[in-house]
Structure 1
Amino acid sequence: IFQGVPYPVRPITVNTDGISIEELTRTDASIVYVTPSHQYPLGTVMPIKRRLELLQWAAKGENRYIIEDDHDSEFRYKGKPIPSLQGIDENDRVIYLGTFSRAIAPAIRMGFMVLPQRLYQVYREKYSFYASTVSRIDQAIVCEFLNGGYFERHVNKMRKRYKMKHDLLLHELKPYEDRITITGENAGLHIVVSFHTSLTEEEILKKVHKKEIELYPLSKHYITDYKPTYPTFLMGFANLSEELIIAGVNLLIKELFLEPNQ
């Protein structure tokens, strides 16, 4: 989407606390896109201190805005919930994006946007004629789902279910922590794993695909020519049973690290 707009797009370094405010400040950017609840794809959760710093950056420019994509905010497994940027913004500089596709079902294909008051007026003047592709019946159903408290109960139920799978996956990988590095494990429906091996990304994919194991290369998300020290992949767990998680980890480790007769 951003590559299709007639404005320069600059990647900003992400560290363990999220986007680098120092690097962002050195640019002439007026809009920044972030996923603070679960940075995609690395899985970083932006702490409150960094969120406040980002809001301060936006407040210092007349036309600076933050696009907050609250990706996977419902599925946080460790620590206390952190308020959204939009929820603690005192200067009306956050454009908040959300979706029901992750929490309810991908087939819903329904999202929403909360605009700052000034941008809302612009939207009403220039884009109010846009028609939604989501049927009004579906919108009414989701509205009732929210107003009746069903959505909150559903999310709590799904969070418990995903946490069980999340914890099991980490438990199965723990014996091999000298051979792998795990990041992004505090929230979301995937973890990021680096394999300490001389195998290339392509060689690993070839091996695991033969065993019907799905890994998603981090390199697919690179904007620059950056390369990690070790081949790194996203490992999803949302649609896996406990049996498949256990069997999959054992098979994965055997393929990458153990001799054929072990």
Structure 2
Amino acid sequence: MSLASHPASDNNTPESSKLILKAAMKTLSGIWLDRDSNITLQDQVVQQVKALIRRGALHPQEMLPSSRELATQLRISRNTVVYAYDRLVSEGYVEARFRSGVFVSEVVPQQRRVRDSQAARHRKVLEREVAAPSGSLRAPLPFRPCQPDVSLFPLPMWNRLRGRALREHGKSLLHYQESCVSGLPALRQNIAQYLQASRGVQCDWRQIVITSGSQQALCLLARLLVPAFGSRVYMEDPGYLGARLAWQSVDARIVPGALDENGLQLPTSELRDLALIYTTPSRQFPTGVSLSLPRRLAILDYARRHKTWVIEDDYDAEFRYKAAPLPSLQSLDEDNRVIYVGTFSKALFPALRLGYVVVPAELFDRFRAAKHLMDDHGPLVDQATLAMFLESGAFHSHIRRCRKAYAERQECFLELFSQSDLPLEFRYTDGGMNLLGWLPEGSDDRRLSKRLREDGLDIPALTSYSLKARAPGLVFGFTAFDPATIRRGFARVREHFVL
């Protein structure tokens, strides 16, 4: 039967078929006709439909647009489409069904079917993305680590300061600003004052570069330091996955550094060509141990003798509940070998995406150039608002409020577990946003973590942060969850332990 007389080739279709037809038309939107080409329009349609079928853009049994619809879409004669479809039918690429339409054949002739493995892999990635939770925004699941309680954040005050910043600076905050490659000067000045007063950091405000969170800072440092100073990076094991991925992105060779009750152990004497040492000394992630003073001094001495850079990631130093916050490692550095990295994602809210780096003078120009190449400068409206938030004292008030609430939540959490018979040991409980529960030797923490995840609980396995085989455990975050949520989550955790 000629498609010119096929009942489904016009617009007299049921409503359901019209919906299918509309979806099918979208799949042929990749057809582009060159009216100046020596190849006829009919041949171009045939060749491009074949190509869509070969690479899997059109799937078996997928409906094609009617000849009238495709002709309208491509602005060509309907007869051109009819004859193109007839050729595709005769060659076995498509089939015409009486009163139904034109469909991709179930089996394309084997000699014409080209399997594009790259496209197949791409489709699998997209399918995983569709299968993953998406679409709606939601709060973190209990007990996801490193999550602040955003409900404690004074959003009305933030919005007032945001309006004030826009009124004071006007439209200048909306333009590109070459003078703000390192960040808004007012914000850098306020951060310098805060770091000097609360963390003992030795810096001039002009050493500070504003980044899009600490992760961008680590990626920039990886690009800057690893190619120039060697391929080996010494980092805590278990340690922060984001840092590990940053080093791996520049093909660094990661040397795992073991931990003990004093924190990161010193690199062995054979390790003299390290590009950098990465550490979270105030409260190691994910174990929670703090780097002792003798160990800090030993690492600084190693860095001085071997000209090695030390990256201090001070991600949650504000939250220490039973004593004053520890001074930073950078405050002890007399040789300018420590690069101090911080973030407001944990102290304020993650979506702010503002972090900072205190860059030694020797590296500053190269770091600033790398930052400029990556994103010119961050959002100036948010930077101006944060500068006012710091200057007004609201930041310090917010930290005090969070510290009090988080201390109460930690106490609630530890009391529940101490009164239970669960085989979890919590060793380092003086502060931070997370608690590591050590499991008995031989436990399969990844399998347990997976079961908990299936029950709606986000509690990572300790070994998932390890490069070498380490003791098993579970990493609990507690700061984002009120006591009632903690109690409900604890009850669900207990159900997964066979005692």
Shorter-chain TM-score bucket reads: 0.7 to 0.9
1:233 to 1:145, Cα distance in 2 relative to 1, 3 A = same
Q: Which residue of 1 aligns with 2:362?
A: 118
Q: 2:389 aligns with which of 122, 127, 145?
A: 145
Q: 1:48 aligns with which of 293, 305, 309?
A: 293
- State whether residues 47 and 82 of structure 1, in contact with CA within 8 Å, keep that contact through their aligned partners in structure 2: no
Q: Which residue of 1 aligns with 2:480?
A: 239
- State whether residues 341 and 358 of structure 2, in contact with CA within 8 Å, keep that contact through their aligned partners in structure 1: yes
Q: Map 1:75-90 to 2 at 5 A.
A: 75-90=319-334
The count of corresponding residues between Structure 1 and Structure 2 is: 252
Q: Which residue of 2 aligns with 1:165?
A: 409
Aligned to 1:158, the other structure's residue is in SS state helix
1:32 to 1:244, Cα distance in 2 relative to 1, 3 A = same
What TM-score do you get using the length of structure 1 for normalisation?
0.86
196-205 vs 175-184, which moves further: 196-205
Paired-residue identity, %:
28
1:26 to 1:187, Cα distance in 2 relative to 1, 3 A = farther
- State whether residues 318 and 325 of structure 2, in contact with CA within 8 Å, keep that contact through their aligned partners in structure 1: no
CA distance in 1, matches of 2:415, 2:428: 15
Which runs of 5 or more residues in structure 2 are unaligned?
Answer: 1-245
CA distance in 2, matches of 1:134, 1:122: 18
Q: Which residue of 1 aligns with 2:151?
A: none
Q: Which residue of 1 aligns with 2:264?
A: 19
TM-aligned CA deviation for residue 212 of structure 1: 3.0
Q: 1:151-198, CA deviations, whole angstroms, 9 ceiling, x for partnerless residues? A: 111111111111110111011111236722113422221111123487
Q: Which residue of 2 aligns with 1:204?
A: 448
Q: 1:15-44, CA deviations, whole angstroms, 9 ceiling, x for partnerless residues? A: 1211101x3443122410111112111111
TM-aligned CA deviation for residue 202 of structure 1: 4.9
Q: Map 1:24-39 to 2 at 5 A.
A: 24-28=268-272, 29-39=274-284
Q: 2:314 aligns with which of 70, 92, 98?
A: 70
Q: 1:3 aligns with which of 245, 248, 251?
A: 248
Q: Which residue of 1 aligns with 2:370?
A: 127
TM-aligned CA deviation for residue 217 of structure 1: 1.1
Q: Which residue of 2 aligns with 1:109?
A: 353
1:123 to 1:209, Cα distance in 2 relative to 1, 3 A = closer
Aligned to 1:215, the other structure's residue is in SS state coil
Q: 1:237-260, CA deviations, whole angstroms, 9 ceiling, x for partnerless residues? A: 1221211212322332243145xx
What TM-score do you get using the length of structure 2 for normalisation?
0.47
AA in 1 matched with 2:289: T
AA in 2 matched with 1:127: A
TM-aligned CA deviation for residue 233 of structure 1: 0.9
1:198 to 1:5, Cα distance in 2 relative to 1, 3 A = closer
CA distance in 2, matches of 1:215, 1:8: 29
1:119 to 1:199, Cα distance in 2 relative to 1, 3 A = closer
- State whether residues 182 and 193 of structure 1, in contact with CA within 8 Å, keep that contact through their aligned partners in structure 2: yes
Higher Cα radius of gyration? 2
Please identify which structure carries the higher helix content. 2
Aligned to 1:176, the other structure's residue is in SS state coil
CA distance in 2, matches of 1:55, 1:99: 23
1:245 to 1:178, Cα distance in 2 relative to 1, 3 A = closer
Aligned to 1:256, the other structure's residue is in SS state coil
Q: Which residue of 2 aligns with 1:248?
A: 489
TM-aligned CA deviation for residue 49 of structure 1: 2.3
231-240 vs 246-255, which moves further: 246-255
Pairwise CA RMSD of aligned residues?
2.3
AA in 2 matched with 1:236: G
AA in 1 matched with 2:262: D
1:252 to 1:7, Cα distance in 2 relative to 1, 3 A = closer
Q: Which residue of 1 aligns with 2:36?
A: none
Q: Which residue of 2 aligns with 1:192?
A: 436
1:179 to 1:9, Cα distance in 2 relative to 1, 3 A = closer
Aligned to 2:345, the other structure's residue is in SS state coil
